[in-house]
Amino acid sequence: MEVSCLEPCVQLKLSREELENTVDKAKDWALMHGISMRSKVSFNKNQVQVLPFTLLPSSFPKKHFEKVKGIQVLLNELIHKVAHNNDFLIKSLKSTIGADSFTAKLFNIYETVYKEGFNQTVSLGLLRSDYMLHANQIKQVELNTIASSFGGIVTITSQYHKYILSELGYTDKIKNIPENNPINGLCKGLTHAWKLYDNKKAVILFVVENVTYNICDQRFHEFEISKINPDIKVIRKSLKDLVSEARLGPNKQLIVGNLEVSVVYFRSGYEVEAYPTEQEWEIRLLIERSKAIKCPSIQYHLAGTKKVQQSLAYSNALNVFLKDDNIIKQIQEIFAGLYSLEFNNETESVIDNAISHPKKYVLKPQREGGGNNVYDKDIKLRLESMRNSEERTAWILMDRFYPPVQKNYIVCARNEPFEDNYLHFSNVVSELGIYGVIIGNHDNIIYNKEVGHILRTKPSNENEGGIAAGIGAIDSPYLI
Ligand code: ADP
Ligand code: MG
Ligand code: MG
């Protein structure tokens, strides 16, 4: 695959000593401002460590950046409508839930509350639509409807990249780093939902992992909520905690301990590991049955599955949700080729093609959080092994992107001590994410905004760039 290149924002000409001093200062800036997380290797509640970040902002074409920023409110609306279309959800997910027990469990919860009638009709979505550049176009990787993370960290990272450019003497270039304040936008979504619930004493519940590594990002949300409205109290509980602490009140209020919950913000619950026993599933159902506003509600959660993404890429799918041809066209332009693996004749030829040319595709299951997809020759092996089994319907195939490469330094990558790493520019590629906030019920959209962006950057030879895994890095776009 031929790949193109992007010019880096600056060509650093520093001695080794100058570079080391710069990196030292950059790390301290990052640590002191919270571009940090807890260590997985030596977990200690009293400590955080700098998470991987790029020394310099990475170049990103302005026209593509603006295009996807501009369509975020349309995507918010689309996902909202998809989530409220029972027929579409059933049709899209029917075969997948036969093959994937995790999605089936989520779907069961959805069906249960759908049949009972929702006790809270309003949903809150803090979404993040992710993109890569490919062949001079910008294409959607996926759209996250649950636990869209790093809005706090990247707000700070934009400030860091401005700082480092000025520190290196490039103050004239700071203007190319766009304003970015997703933390405020996301938290305004949370506080708006809190207001809609209309009980000043009710708290916002963050549903978190048993052990949280990405603590700084989560706390940035909590602290921002307090800044926006100091009267709002936030509590943090894992699904496990909630098994013993949560119940429904007489009017379907969600009660935790002795506190009523207005908004449930899931930062966990998208991953299989969050549900080790049936009890966690029962708690998820209890939450969905409650009159608390959920971020996301179970229907928003399902609307964010890879399978729904693939269903939306069928040629006439968008016409069900959107009436304006021009809008439909704009959205279709960002979709990549996405292919169902359900049993039909069309699918067989896609599978044949993917087996012969695995580098043209990514094979994806219904999972979130990174590290689940299949690449390269493993695609061939996996497709061959499940070709005749129902299992394949739990997966989708997607055209693979090859974004343009550029040079940058990744600071604090997993291969510390990073001496070898940082004295060379390495080839990196980036993934842009746009944050969106949506609030609405079946009939109305009450709130719909685009609230900022994230750039994540990884070495170009890596298939995936998990930040927590230490492979990818937090970055800021430098618009060119
Ligand atoms: P998850 O929900 O686990 O984040 P993604 O669809 O975002 O799933 O895939 C994880 C990562 O895999 C992405 O961040 C990106 O690095 C890589 N990836 C996903 N889809 C593609 C694609 N079509 N082409 C190239 N890389 C991809
Ligand atoms: Mg995802
Ligand atoms: Mg992703």
Residue 58 vs residue 45, higher pLDDT: 58
What is the reported pLDDT for 418?
A: 44
Enumerate the H helices of 133-209 as residue ranges: 151-167, 182-197
Q: Which ligand is nearest to the CA of 370?
A: 1
Name the closest-CA residue to atom 9, ligand 1.
370
Q: Kindly state the average pLDDT of the residues 265-291.
A: 98
Distance 382 CA to ligand 3 centre (A): 21
403 CA: nearest ligand 1 atom: 25
Q: Which residue has the tokens 């049949």?
A: 115
Write the pLDDT tens digit of every residue in 430-441: 999 999 999 999
Distance CA 203, CA 331 (A): 37
Instruction: Give the per-residue pLDDT at 184.
Output: 99
Give 142 Cα–ligand 3 centroid separation in angstroms. Answer: 6
Q: Whose CA is nearest to atom 12 of ligand 1?
A: 464
Percentage, residues of the chain above pLDDT 90: 91
With CA atoms as reference, report the closest residue to 372 among 88, 90, 209, 142: 142
Question: Do the beta carbons of residue 56 and residue 10 sit within 8 Å?
Answer: yes
**Percent of the chain at pLDDT exceeding 70:** 97
The mean-pLDDT minimum among 93-97, 265-269, 278-282, 423-427 falls in 423-427
What SS3 string covers 358-376?
A: HHHEEEECCCCCCCCCECC
In this structure, the residue with its CA closest to atom 17 of ligand 1 is 464
Q: What is the pLDDT of residue 465?
A: 87
CA 56–ligand 2 middle distance (angstroms): 26
CATH 3.30.450.40 fits 340-400, yes or no: no
Q: Residue 474: helix, strand or coil by DSSP?
A: strand
CA–centroid distance, 344 to ligand 2, in Å, is: 27
Residue 400: pLDDT band with limits 50, 70, 90: very high
Q: Which residues line ligand 1 (CB under 6 A)?
A: 130, 132, 141-142, 336, 362, 364, 367-370, 372-373, 398-401, 431, 464-465
Give the residue, 42 or 402, on which the prediction is more confident: 402
* Rounded (10°) angle between helices 151-167 and 16-33: 150
Atom of ligand 1 nearest to the CA of 402: 25
Give residue 425's pLDDT. 66
In the block, residue with structure tokens 């230490």: 470
Amino acid at 450: E
The alpha carbon of 164 is separated from its chain's Cα centroid by a whole number of angstroms, namely 27
By the 10 Å C-beta count (0-12 exposed, 13-18 middle, 19+ buried), 330 is classed as middle
The per-residue DSSP string of 414-445 comes to SS-S-HHHHTS-EEEEEEEEEEEEEEE-SS-E
pLDDT at position 72 is: 98
pLDDT, tens digit, 9 for 90 and up, residues 338-374: 999 999 988 999 999 999 999 999 999 999 999 999 9
The residues of the chain that CATH labels 3.30.1490.50 are: 340-400
103-108 average pLDDT score: 98
ipTM over 0.90: yes
Work out which ligand 1 atom sits closest to the CA atom of 462: 16
Query: Nearest bound ligand to CA 396?
Result: 1
Choice from 102, 127, 142 to test ligand 1 binding pocket (greatest atom count within 8 A of CB): 142
* Residue 185: per-residue pLDDT: 99
C-beta separation of 89 from 278 below 8 A? no
Instruction: Give me the pLDDT at residue 470, please.
Output: 78
**pLDDT-derived band at 421, boundaries 50, 70, 90:** very low
Closest ligand 1 atom to residue 336 Cα is: 23
Buried b (16+ CB within 10 A) or exposed e, 235-250: ebbbbbbbeeebebee
Distance CA 263, CA 196 (A): 10
Q: How many CA atoms lie within 13 A of 52 on its CB side?
A: 26
69-73, 96-100, 121-125, 471-475: range with lowest mean pLDDT: 471-475
Query: Which of the residues are catalytic?
Result: 128, 142, 144, 149, 306, 364, 368-369, 456
Q: Indicate the top mutation candidate among 139, 359, 362 to test ligand 1's pocket, ranked by most ligand atoms within 8 A of CB.
A: 362
Question: What average pLDDT is seen over the chain?
Answer: 95
Residue 171 alpha carbon to ligand 2 centre in Å: 36
pLDDT, average across residues 206-211: 98
CA of 331 to the centre of ligand 2 (A): 19
- Cα–Cα dist 364/372, whole Å: 7
282's tokens = 């029962």
Of the ligands numbered here, which is closest to the C-alpha atom of 140? 1
Residue nearest (by alpha carbon) to ligand 1 atom 4: 370
- Pairs from 22-28 (Cβ < 8 Å, separation ≥ 24): 22/55, 22/164, 22/167, 22/168, 23/55, 23/409, 23/411, 23/422, 25/167, 26/53, 26/55, 26/160, 26/164, 26/411, 27/411, 27/412
Residue 220 in tokens: 């940035």
The pLDDT-based confidence of 143 (bands split at 50, 70, 90) is very high
Phi, psi for 35 (deg, rounded to 5): -80, 70
Alpha carbon distance 125, 144 (integer Å): 9
Ligand closest to the CA atom of residue 146: 2
pLDDT value of residue 415: 52
User: pLDDT tens digit string along 152-188?
Assistant: 999 999 999 999 999 999 999 999 999 999 999 999 9
**Among the listed residues 359, 411, 364, the one whose alpha carbon sits nearest the alpha carbon of residue 380:** 359
Rounded to the nearest angstrom, the gap between the alpha carbon of residue 67 and the centroid of all alpha carbons in its chain is 19
Banded pLDDT at 420 (limits 50, 70, 90): very low
Which residue's CA is the closest to the ligand 1 atom numbered 10? 370
Contacts of 183 (CB under 8 A, 6+ apart): 151, 152, 155, 220, 221, 224, 452
Looking at residue 16, what is its pLDDT?
A: 86
Q: How many Cβ atoms from other residues are within 10 Å of residue 450's Cβ?
A: 22
pLDDT of residue 1: 61
DSSP letter for 316, please. T
Q: Please give the number of the atom of ligand 1 that sits closest to the Cα of 398.
A: 23
Compute the distance from residue 25 Cα to the ligand 2 centre, in Å.
33
* Predicted local distance difference test score (pLDDT) of residue 202: 98
Residue with CA nearest ligand 1 atom 3: 370
